[in-house]
Structure 1
Amino acid sequence: MALGSKLNPTLRAFIERQPMFFVASAAAEGRVNLSPKGADTLRIVDDTHLSWLNLSGSGNETAGHVAQLNRITLMFCAFEGDALILRLYGTARVIHPHDADWTARLAAFPDLSGSRQIFDVAIEAVQTSCGTGVPRMTLTADRAMEELVPYWDGLDDDQIAAYWRRKNAETIDGFDTGLIRD
């Protein structure tokens, strides 16, 4: 196991090859959340900084946790090729569609319906481990692009806002996610 404070070219290339990653977050109280993320939603800004575009879904735990306590962990696993697990530990801030820098930050990503937040992550520690316990698997389809994005494509702005109010305004522990501004 190796621990460092920033990415290097090898780790950057590894991240860019991964079709999915995992995000873990927790507030001081309540449940820990672990979510899989996919599609073309991650950008490496530099060796100590990245951002990812968060698409709408049935929950919004990470945004609520970051609003309470901004620590975050991202994990990447090699499901093909040489075994490797990479964890990035850091802090995050959330950028919402109603924030002043939303449009400028969104320009780094493809136009994906249902985009609800951008997480700006400052990397504080980088850890690698062997990953030999992770199975080899082959990607056969990208559900985000086949199912999730087309679902949001079919909704207008009012329908998306209503969904966000109903499903994404609070975490399961009752923390405000900052998505809805009245």
Structure 2
Amino acid sequence: MAKQFDSISADHRQFIEAQHIFFCGTAAAEGRVNVSPKGMDSLRVLDPNRIVWRNLTGSGNETAAHLAQVNRMTLMWCGFETRPMILRAYGSARTLHPRDHAFAELNAAFPPDPGARQIYDLTVDLVQTSCGFAVPFFDHKAPREVLRKWSEDKGPDGVAAYWRERNLNSIDGLPTHILGDTDA
């Protein structure tokens, strides 16, 4: 039976912090709905109604494009290893890019990574838990180091070039604003 809460409790936070993967869902007013798996050390619960997560450079940039139009976001965690629970945090989010004043302070809460592309600041207005009894067991082996190594090998200039080549627009052609006013 699903239960709803108006904030993240201490128990919810403990569950979130124990997970190795979470999923982010966003959608613009029209076009495709995007659901992305996220991992690494990229998420912080700052208080009972605020979560920030750092988005690293990747092949797509759907979340930024969607939030530029509609600022709603859902984050979801599944208990794959022990506790059978699904937890969703619903709310409104803002996108912070490296050029934005608040980015540096929030980015400092995470391990250094030249591929840091955005930080999403989610104001949580609803938390929902459900049983997760049908979620299978998966054992966490280790984090993948491929993306971190890729961004380190590219360096800041190479990452910026990749943004220009691959991250300016969503798959539906929406601008991501990764480069600010210069986005095409």
1:15 aligns with 2:13: no
Paired residues in the alignment total 180
Q: What value does the CA root-mean-square deviation take over the aligned residues? A: 0.8
User: What is the CA-CA distance between 1:87 and the residue it aligns to?
Assistant: 0.4
- Mapped contact 1:169–1:177 kept (Cα < 8 A): yes
For the residues of structure 1 that align with 2:122 and 2:159, how far apart are their CA atoms?
Answer: 26
User: What is the CA-CA distance between 1:17 and the residue it aligns to?
Assistant: 0.3
Gaps of 5+ in 2: none
SS in 2 for 1:54: strand
User: What is the CA-CA distance between 1:104 and the residue it aligns to?
Assistant: 1.4
Amino acid paired to 1:180: L
1:159 is aligned to 158
- Mapped contact 1:113–1:150 kept (Cα < 8 A): no
- Mapped contact 1:70–1:92 kept (Cα < 8 A): yes
1:108 is aligned to 109
The share of aligned pairs that are identical, in percent, is 48
1:4-57 CA-to-partner distances (Å, cap 9, x unmatched) read: 110111100000000110000000000000000001110011000010010110
Gaps of 5+ in 1: none
User: What is the CA-CA distance between 1:99 and the residue it aligns to?
Assistant: 1.0
For the residues of structure 1 that align with 2:130 and 2:19, how far apart are their CA atoms?
Answer: 16
User: What is the CA-CA distance between 1:164 and the residue it aligns to?
Assistant: 0.3
**Runs of 4 or more above 6 Å deviation:** none
TM-score by length of 1: 0.96
1:39 aligns with 2:43: no
User: What is the CA-CA distance between 1:74 and the residue it aligns to?
Assistant: 0.2
Amino acid paired to 1:47: P
User: What is the CA-CA distance between 1:157 and the residue it aligns to?
Assistant: 2.1
